[in-house]
Structure 1
Amino acid sequence: MSDIHLDHSVLSALRDVMESEFPVLLDTFLTDSSERLRQIHRAVALADSQALRLAAHSFKGSCSNMGAAVLAGLCKQLEETARREQLADATALVLQIEQEFLVVQGLMLEERHGLAR
């Protein structure tokens, strides 16, 4: 089931490239993702479709780079929703993004703890 949420071949390739810095990459992604979620919430609260589009676009890219394809897809949907200025639809998507991020976060933390063994 975790392969649906996180492409382990992407993580394996990143681990090979990053070597000893791979744990730092995981930590950075998780910290950065929390900030991006705050930006998304702020943009929704302010009904700022431009800020929402930019935050969703940025989050989409980092999720894609880390192999979190489902999360990246949800961010793409949010980006398009913001582009069309359909902010009434954004709240449900943000909830889905938060739920998917919790799954991805858990899987990445498992990956991170597995490196410490």
Structure 2
Amino acid sequence: MVDLHLDPDVLSSLQEVMESEYPKLLETFLDDSQKRVEALRKARDDAKALGLIAHSFKGSSGNLGAVRLTQLCQQLEEESAGPAAELGALVDQIDQEFALVRPLYESERQRFQL
């Protein structure tokens, strides 16, 4: 697993495409991601639910360049076919990774707000 948390090229491309809506995109991602992390915590014992949440979180994280978060979500999605008791550590890793990238996205959002 790579140690890259955010892909600056993805953020740069999004900024070019989204222009003045870029900060709103980042804000939406942060809000949505917080809800997904909370949903993962609540679904710790439900492998099927974890897999579904991880799948959608993987997509949004990938679209916003959260490289390691995307990888962790993909791993959770793939391993959700197994017993949920073994998935708690991955949920914790996703929670920790989001806690790490959240301030990076918040800082990025602040750079473009008028």
Please, what TM-score do these two structures have when normalized by structure 1? 0.89
Q: Give the counterpart letter for 1:21 in structure 2.
A: E
CA distances 1:15-42 after superposition (whole Å, capped 9, x unpaired): 0000000000000000000111121112
State the alpha-carbon separation in 2 of the partners of residues 116 and 30 from structure 1. 15
Q: Give the counterpart letter for 1:89 in structure 2.
A: E
State the alpha-carbon separation in 2 of the partners of residues 32 and 56 from structure 1. 13
State the alpha-carbon separation in 2 of the partners of residues 18 and 101 from structure 1. 23
State the alpha-carbon separation in 1 of the partners of residues 96 and 6 from structure 2. 14
Aligned pair count? 112
**In structure 1, what is the equivalent of residue 7 of structure 2?**
7
In the TM superposition, 1:7-26 aligns within 5 A as 7-26=7-26
Q: Which runs of 4+ in 1 moved over 4 A?
A: none
State the alpha-carbon separation in 2 of the partners of residues 96 and 34 from structure 1. 14
Q: Secondary structure at the match of 2:13?
A: helix
Q: Gaps spanning 5+ residues in structure 2: where?
A: none
State the alpha-carbon separation in 2 of the partners of residues 93 and 21 from structure 1. 33
Is 1:89 the counterpart of 2:91 in the alignment?
A: no
**In structure 1, what is the equivalent of residue 105 of structure 2?**
108
- RCO comparison, higher one (Cα < 8 Å, 6+): 2
Please, what TM-score do these two structures have when normalized by structure 2? 0.92
Superposition RMSD on alpha carbons, in Å?
Answer: 1.4
Larger proportion of helix: 1
